[in-house]
Amino acid sequence: MIPGDFQFSKPPKNKLILLGVLGSIGFIVFAVIALIATFHISSWIDKPIVFAGEAPDQPIEFPHTIHVQELGLDCTFCHTNVTKGASASIPAVNLCMSCHTQLGDGSTEIEKLREIHAKKDVIQWTRVHRMPDHVRFIHEAHVKRFSGTRLVVEKITDSTNQIRLTEAKTIKAGAKIGETLDIAASGTCSICHGDVSKMHKVEQVRTLKMSDCVDCHRENDAPTDCTTCHY
Amino acid sequence: MANPSWGMVIDNDKCTGCNACVIACQSENNIPINEEDHFTQRRPIQWIRIERYWEGEFPNVKARFIPVLCQHCADAPCEPVCPVYATYHNDQGLNVQVYNRCIGTRFCANGCPYQVRHFNFWEPEWPDSLENQLNPDVTVRTRGIMEKCTFCVQRIQRTKRESEKNNTSIKDGDRQLNPACVNGCATDALVFGDFNNPESKVSKMKKKELGHGGHGDHSDHDGHKEHDEKRGYHLLEEYGTHPSVVYLKKVDYESKTVEKH
């Protein structure tokens, strides 16, 4: 050691503790800001990669798995308006009760349903898919576009049951190119809503952002004029 | 088939100034209630308004009315000034206002010579009794964005959808298609239709009243008889905006004058 050289004096212990505390507070603040920024930026582009949230809880746990997969009910059996108008419509309690006056004794969820029916109340479902107010989405037009007898399957890109909107021209998995398909209205729902029949709790599968809509509109030669959806 | 070019013919001779079109528009398009102080601040929102002019001296005063709505100009002064392309001309001859793009610079309202663009200075409010009368097919515009007449594009889109579904063509003068103001007009002073369809009522009226020259260019070179027969003109046509709305002059045989406002 050379005399007169700079020497780092050892800081006192209480100063070290203060530095440590300040540093950790600073780190926490930075981490929180980074998380919020990540949430906002990622949710702007696509689904948020942090705090994404799970499927919302419903007042009555309605299992689509039992009703669609096991009983084989058609989507349009309950969502009757989907082929007739803008909204797909949620069935009235009376439709549930047409079976559940007889079936499902002992289940707490069905007791809840019967209680609501006895009070002549409505079920306050939590909405899962919501479009902003300035968007007009017409279920009828979209269902009509993809259902019916479609002459030619133009390309097959997805061999699994997961049908994605970008490959909407191939509705049915396992179809051959050039095959004529007869697609029911309920065969088209999964394009946007995912395979609801396998969901115990309904969740939003696609981002349903404008780019999502416009990509599909371009792919399917649908109009992309602003007044198609915004008015 | 060619794209339609929606337009309107307004006969000032038939207009009685009853304001039914204003009310029809107000209720169809979710326009907030204009209160007195909105008018005193000159900030009412009326997509269609009746302009009233007094003519003559006291005992022989006459009221003249002109319904003024967005003219859906082919060369609209509002369109090039928008920095975010919130207003543009679509392939159906409509001057479209995209609410979710609008950032509220109000350049378009300053550019419009017809004063038919309206800015939402306040959050829209309705009395409780009217909350359930809002039209679900029309966006409720929030504070800070521009709005204007759309020729009831929601009705046009609905008719188009229905006609595609039933494999029919859009009928001229269909009440499903007509804007609310046209349906509300008691004297049929407003006629709505497709200028690209030569068989439509508006095309025939335009041809008859405006002549081949178009854009109101019907000078007196054929003599006064021609002038008397053809009543068509455009509002402020000297600006060269080429509007889609054709006005027909009021003809007052009593005062032997042809009013052109």
Give the tens place of pLDDT for each residue, A45-62: 877 887 777 788 888 888
Long-range pairs for B134-143 at CB < 8 Å and ≥24 separation? B134/B30, B135/B27, B135/B28, B135/B29, B135/B30, B136/A86, B137/A136, B137/A231, B138/A231, B138/B28, B138/B29, B138/B30, B139/A133, B139/A134, B139/A230, B139/A231, B139/B30, B139/B99, B140/A133, B140/B30, B141/B30, B141/B99
Question: Whose CA is closest to A142, among A219, A83, A224?
Answer: A83
Q: Is residue A123 in a domain? A: no
Residues B89-113 have a mean pLDDT of 93
| CB-neighbour burial class of residue A207 (10 A; exposed 0-12, middle 13-18, buried 19+) | middle
Q: Is residue A160 in some structural domain?
A: yes
CA B48 distance to own-chain centroid: 6
Q: Is A221 an 8 Å CB contact of chain B?
A: no
pLDDT tens by residue, A178-199: 566 677 777 788 888 888 888 8
Same domain as A191, residue A148: yes
Select from A114, A123, A107 the least CA-distant residue to A60. Answer: A123
- A140 in contact with B, Cβ within 8 Å: yes
Of the given ranges (A30-34, A215-219, B32-36, B158-162), which has the lowest mean pLDDT?
A: A215-219
Q: Does B225 touch chain A (CB under 8 A)?
A: no
Please indicate, yes or no, if residue A22 is contained in any of the structural domains: no
Residue A15 lies in a domain: no
Cβ within 8 Å, pair B100-A132: yes
In a domain? residue A187: yes
Residues in B closer than 8 angstroms to A221, CB to CB, are none
Q: Is residue A163 part of a domain?
A: yes
Q: Which domain-ending residue is among A55, A88, A118?
A: A118
Looking at the fold, whether A114 and A158 belong to one and the same domain comes out as: no
pLDDT in tens, A140-174: 888 887 777 664 445 544 444 333 444 444 455 55
Q: Is the pLDDT of residue B27 over 80?
A: yes
3-state SS, residue B60: helix
- pLDDT value of residue B253: 66
Show which of A56, A84, A118 is a domain's final residue. A118
Give chain B positions within 8 Å (CB) of A228.
157
In the predicted model, what is the mean pLDDT of residues A107-131? 89
Alpha-carbon span A71 to B95, nearest angstrom? 51
pLDDT in tens, B109-157: 999 999 999 999 999 988 888 888 899 899 999 999 999 999 999 999 9
Alpha helix ranges (H) inside B178-248: 180-184, 201-210, 224-229
Instruction: Tell me if B150 and A132 make a contact (CB, 8 A cut-off).
Output: no
Q: How far is A182 from chain B (nearest CA, A)?
A: 18
pLDDT of B81 strictly over 90: yes
Residues A101 and A167 in one domain: no
- Contact list in A for residue B96 (CB cut-off 8 A) is 225-227
- Would an 8 Å CB–CB cutoff place B94 in contact with chain A? yes
Tell me, yes or no, whether A55 lies in a domain.
no
With 60 as the cut, is the pLDDT of residue A32 above it?
A: yes
Evaluate whether residue A95 is within a structural domain: yes
- A111/A160 same-domain check: no
Distance in Å, alpha carbon of A144 to nearest chain B alpha carbon: 8
Asked if the Cβ–Cβ distance from B161 to A228 is below 8 Å, we say: no
Task: Tell me which of 3.30.450.30, 3.40.50.1000, 3.30.70.20, 1.10.3720.10 is the CATH number of domain B6-259.
Answer: 3.30.70.20
Q: Are A73 and A67 in contact (CB under 8 A)?
A: yes
**Domain parsing of chain B, residue ranges:** 6-259
Domain enclosing residue A160, as ranges:
139-228
Mean pLDDT of A20-24: 95
Which segment of A40-54, A204-218, B81-95 scores lowest on mean pLDDT? A40-54
What total number of domains does chain A contain? Answer: 2
Q: What whole-number distance in Å separates Cα of residue B44 and Cα of residue B36?
A: 9
Give B153→chain A minimum CA distance, Å.
7
Task: Provide the mean pLDDT of chain B.
Answer: 87
B164, two tokens: 């595609």
pLDDT at A177 over 70: no
- Whether residues B90 and A231 touch (CB distance < 8 A) is answered with no
pLDDT tens digits, one per residue of B144-189: 999 999 999 999 999 998 998 888 888 888 899 999 999 999 999 9
pLDDT confidence of residue B226: 45
pLDDT at residue A178 in the model: 56
The pLDDT confidence band at residue A107, using thresholds 50, 70 and 90, is confident
